[in-house]
Amino acid sequence: NTIIVGAPFDNRGAGSASGAAYIYDYSRTSGSWSLSESLSSGFTEVGIEAGTSVAVSGNSILVGAPYDD
């Protein structure tokens, strides 16, 4: 079980509101969610708000950034 969470105001990429998305996996053994991947280093512009929308299709993840040129 996996969930993708968008964080459009995350500041870890290029800076202010560059955004990010986080992938969490659920462990039935422990009964908890754990962060498996952080998608932020590829967002290199301030204010693009990557993670405003996220989508999954099969093995592909799409991260929306409404203010990216």
Residue partners of 60: CB distance under 8 A and separation at least 6? none
- Provide the pLDDT for residue 16: 81
Q: Residues 21-68: pLDDT tens digits?
A: 999 999 999 999 999 999 887 777 888 999 999 999 988 999 999 998
| CB neighbour class for 21 (10 Å; exposed up to 12, middle 13-18, buried from 19) | buried
pTM of the prediction? 0.85
Report phi then psi at 48, rounded to 5: -80, -15
Which of 5, 4, 22 has the alpha carbon at shortest distance from 13?
22
pLDDT in tens, 5-22: 999 998 876 678 889 999
Name which of 54, 42, 41 is nearest 8 in CA terms.
54
